[in-house]
């Protein structure tokens, strides 16, 4: 496994060859090198056509990321650091986290239950207390 590969938990590994990077100038404050260094990184990964994503996870990942994909390609921009290397690492880390979350199995279905007898009694008792408080504010004392 090369250093540029992205490890997505224990689920799968994306080889560096499937990733494409584009560099540009970062916005915001900088220093002397702000207008000369291309430190912003755009990392693109073709989710739809990638052979690295196992078939049983591909549909789940595509469904989870459907709002972020453009023609099946996921693009992540990183410009929070001043160095290009740190931005590359940040973009790869974000890609791994996104894919890990997207490939996670859906949560178990909730089994509906009825409220217990005690919880019903507590709810009614608190309603009664609140009612008494409000009745006490009315100014009438006809109890």
CATH number for position 57: 3.30.160.20
Residue 91 maps to a domain: yes
In this structure, the number of other CB atoms found within 10 A of the CB of residue 124 comes to 10
Q: What is the pLDDT of residue 119?
A: 96
pLDDT of residue 32: 62
Averaged pLDDT score across all residues of the chain: 84
The distance in angstroms from the start CA to the end CA of the chain is 82
Distance CA(52)–CA(50), nearest Å, equals 5
| Structural domain total, the chain | 1
Judged by DSSP in three states, 96 sits in: helix
Q: What is the DSSP letter of 15?
A: -
Alpha-carbon distance of 101 to 26, in angstroms, equals 28
Percentage of the chain surpassing pLDDT 90?
20
**Domain-embedded: residue 99:** yes
Candidates 99, 80, 125; CA nearest to 7 is 99
pLDDT, one tens digit per residue, over 55-76 is 888 888 888 888 888 888 888 8
In a domain, 140, yes or no: no
Residue 29: domain span: 6-103
Q: Is the pTM of this model over 0.85?
A: no
| pLDDT computed for residue 1 by the predictor | 40
Determine how many CB atoms are found less than 10 A away from the CB of residue 129.
Answer: 10
CB atoms within 10 A of CB 71: 7
Burial of 15 (0-12, 13-18, 19+ CB in 10 A): middle
Quickly list DSSP for 89-125.
HHHHHHHHHHHHHHTSPPPPPPPP-PPPHHHHHHHHH
Among 19-28, 50-59, 112-121, the range scoring the smallest mean pLDDT is: 19-28
CA–CA separation, 73 and 45 (whole Å): 6
Whether residue 62 is contained in a domain is answered as: yes
Is the per-residue pLDDT at 135 higher than 80?
yes
| E strand residue ranges, 47-127 | 69-70, 73-78
């Amino acid at each position: 496994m090369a250093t540029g590969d992205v490890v997505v938990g224990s689920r799968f590994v994306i080889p560096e060859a499937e990733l494409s990077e584009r560099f540009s100038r970062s916005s915001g404050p900088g220093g002397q090198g702000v207008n000369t260094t291309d430190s912003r990184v755009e990392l693109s990964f073709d989710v739809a056509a990638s052979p690295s994503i196992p078939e049983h996870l591909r549909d789940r990942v595509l469904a989870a990321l459907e709002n972020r994909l453009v023609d099946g390609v996921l693009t992540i921009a990183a410009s929070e650091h001043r160095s290009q290397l740190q931005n590359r690492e940040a973009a790869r880390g974000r890609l791994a986290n996104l894919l890990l979350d997207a490939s996670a199995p859906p949560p178990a279905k909730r089994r509906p239950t009825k409220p217990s007898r005690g919880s019903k009694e507590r709810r009614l008792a608190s309603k009664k207390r609140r009612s008494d408080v409000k009745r006490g504010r009315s100014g009438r004392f006809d109890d």
